[in-house]
């Protein structure tokens, strides 16, 4: 199983000779990488970067599989309540590893696996619509909050708990819930303890946006029939690859270093991710949060005000060729684009011939739709290159649990390395916490 990174088109000599990173800087980055790797190792030994352990957690997988076996086929819907890092991972997993429009498939074609609804926002219209659509008797609710105190998630919990209780009764409602939260702290942990509601832990050292490979993502994945072993095996491959001490042999580190270098020396403040696959649309949104919340910081590691961070943009090809690519090709020279190409779709879905078709149609006939998608990716990359725009390409053979696990871990590792290049703490989110505190105040929570 491979994940290939092609970074050729980040460099000036491969673009228009004017824009792009100076190829000579590669040697300097490679030399500095020794210190970056040493800092990551040091911090890892002192309790940071705990997400790197997630490729190997057989006991957690066994416990989740065992629990999920007891729930399978009893519920028709899985309703996830969570926001930010407690929701985006589950959504990325579903859209990558289950067929498009999963919820619209009849139960027999879903082979008994439940539909999935993720309520992130507290827009009352969305929440009410979900409750009107789902059957409470057949809904299992996974409430996910690392802190156990996020207002959006707890408000959803209160509304949904009441909705279930009104139909199945107070006593039976408990069996419709599973809580994923901090091992010791917070309102959800207290509920699990006091009411004996099923619960799983988010390991203490793993923050929300790095938690997709903990129970946060693994419970929805297990309930939807995904292969947890393969997901984690793919993640472990990315971890093993990141043990390499050379930038050349460590693609996640190289991707992060080049993103940083592009911003530091070419003012490329915008980092676009553009998978050429609808199944990775939600993955791009997961990346957007990971990259933004980890690197957008007022203070550097030394506590000095420095207001750092790239702006990530989530797009999907070929759709956004007709939306944002005009800006990418002709707008300010302030972006890098990372394409994700999925090799095995190229041969899929032949475009049939029609007798007497005009030349505007006939050139498509006998080709495949996957071929067209791939031609569009190559054409867009070449158009960008010809106009001096930097891009990288990540290529995977296919989208399955193993490749997805590897991709997820690749971006988490890259974010961890980027924290060192940007000299910020990628694992905190004081800006988000400030917003949470002001919300508590505005809503009259005691103590705020």
Binding mask of the shown chain, residues 60 to 99, with x at each position contacting ligand PA5 by CB under 6 A: -----------------------xxxx-------------
Question: Given the complex with ligand PA5, which of 143 and 342 has the nearer CB atom?
Answer: 143
Nearest approach in angstroms of CB 393 to ligand PA5 is 27
Query: How far apart are alpha carbons 264 and 241 in whole angstroms?
Result: 26
146 binds ligand PA5 (CB under 6 A): yes
Does the footprint of ligand PA5 cover residue 371 (CB under 6 A)? no
Fill in the DSSP letter of residue 300.
-
* Contacts (Cβ under 8 Å, ≥6 apart) of 43: 49
> Known catalytic residue: 293?
yes
- Of 293 and 374, nearer to ligand PA5 (C-beta) is 293
For the segment 103-142, give every residue that binds ligand PA5 (CB under 6 A).
none
DSSP H stretches of helix in 185-279: 187-195, 215-223, 228-241, 251-266
**Can you read off the two tokens belonging to residue 277?**
């696959």
Q: How many whole angstroms separate alpha carbon 231 and alpha carbon 217? A: 11
* Residue 381 to residue 385: CA distance in whole angstroms: 6
CB of 161 to ligand PA5, least distance (A): 17
By CB under 6 A, tell whether 208 contacts ligand PA5: yes
**Residue 220 in the binding site for ligand PA5 (CB under 6 A):** no
- CA 10 from chain centre, in angstroms, equals 24
Catalytic residue selected from 45, 194, 322, 360: 322
Respond yes or no: is residue 66 known to be catalytic. no
Catalytic residue among 120, 201, 282, 293: 293
In the complex, the smallest distance separating the C-beta of residue 301 from ligand PA5, rounded to whole angstroms, is 19
The answer to whether 129 and 58 are in contact (CB under 8 A) is no
First to last CA, the chain: 51
The site that binds ligand PA5 (CB under 6 A) totals a number of residues, namely 15
Please say whether the beta carbons of 220 and 94 come within 8 A: yes
Q: How many helices (H) and strands (E) in the chain?
A: 16, 12
Nearest to ligand PA5 by Cβ — which residue? Answer: 208
Q: If binding is defined by CB under 6 A, does position 153 make contact with ligand PA5?
A: yes
Residues in the chain: 448
Q: Which of 14, 19, 53, 436 is catalytic?
A: 436
Q: Does 415 bind ligand PA5 (CB under 6 A)?
A: no
Q: Contact positions toward ligand PA5, by CB under 6 A?
A: 83-86, 145-147, 150, 153, 207-209, 293, 429, 432
Q: Which residues are catalytic?
A: 293, 322, 436
């Amino acid at each position: 199983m491979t994940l290939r990174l092609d970074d050729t088109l980040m460099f000036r000599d491969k673009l228009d000779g004017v824009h792009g990173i100076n190829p000579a800087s590669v040697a300097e980055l490679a030399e500095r990488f020794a210190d970056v790797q040493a800092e990551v190792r040091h911090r890892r030994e002192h309790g940071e970067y705990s997400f790197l352990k997630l490729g190997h957690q057989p006991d957690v997988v066994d416990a989740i599989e065992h629990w999920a076996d007891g729930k399978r086929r009893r519920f028709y819907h899985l309703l996830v309540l969570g926001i930010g890092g407690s929701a985006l991972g589950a959504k990325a997993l579903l859209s990558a590893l289950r067929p498009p429009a999963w919820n619209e498939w009849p139960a027999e074609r879903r082979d008994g696996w439940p539909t999935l609804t993720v309520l992130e926002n507290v827009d009352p219209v969305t929440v009410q619509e979900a409750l009107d659509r789902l059957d409470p008797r057949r809904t299992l609710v996974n409430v996910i909050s690392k802190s156990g105190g996020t207002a959006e998630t707890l408000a959803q919990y209160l509304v949904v708990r009441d909705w279930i209780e009104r139909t199945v009764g107070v006593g039976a409602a408990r069996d419709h819930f599973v809580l994923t939260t901090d091992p010791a702290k917070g309102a959800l942990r207290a509920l699990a303890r006091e009411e004996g509601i099923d619960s799983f832990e988010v390991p203490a050292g793993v923050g929300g946006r790095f938690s997709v490979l903990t129970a946060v993502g693994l419970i929805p994945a297990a309930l939807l029939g995904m292969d947890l072993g393969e997901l984690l095996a793919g993640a472990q491959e990315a971890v093993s690859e990141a043990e390499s001490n050379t930038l050349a042999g460590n693609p996640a580190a190289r991707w992060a270093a080049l993103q940083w270098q592009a911003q530091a020396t070419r003012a490329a403040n915008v980092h676009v991710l553009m998978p050429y696959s609808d199944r990775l649309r939600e993955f791009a949104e997961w990346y957007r949060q990971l990259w933004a919340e980890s690197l957008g910081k007022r203070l550097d590691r030394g506590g000095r005000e420095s207001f750092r961070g790239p702006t990530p943009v989530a797009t999907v090809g070929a759709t956004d060729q007709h939306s944002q690519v005009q800006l990418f090709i002709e707008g300010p020279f302030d972006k890098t684009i990372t394409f994700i190409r999925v090799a095995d779709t190229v041969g899929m879905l032949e475009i049939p011939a029609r007798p007497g078709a005009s030349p505007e149609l006939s050139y498509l006939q006998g080709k495949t739709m996957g071929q067209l998608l791939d031609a569009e990716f190559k054409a867009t990359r070449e158009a960008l290159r010809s106009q001096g725009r930097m891009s990288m390409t990540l290529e995977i053979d296919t989208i399955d649990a193993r490749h997805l696990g590897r991709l997820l871990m690749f971006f988490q590792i890259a974010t961890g390395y980027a924290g060192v290049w940007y000299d910020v703490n990628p694992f905190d989110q004081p800006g988000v916490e400030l917003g949470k505190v002001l919300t508590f105040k505005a809503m009259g929570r005691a103590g705020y």
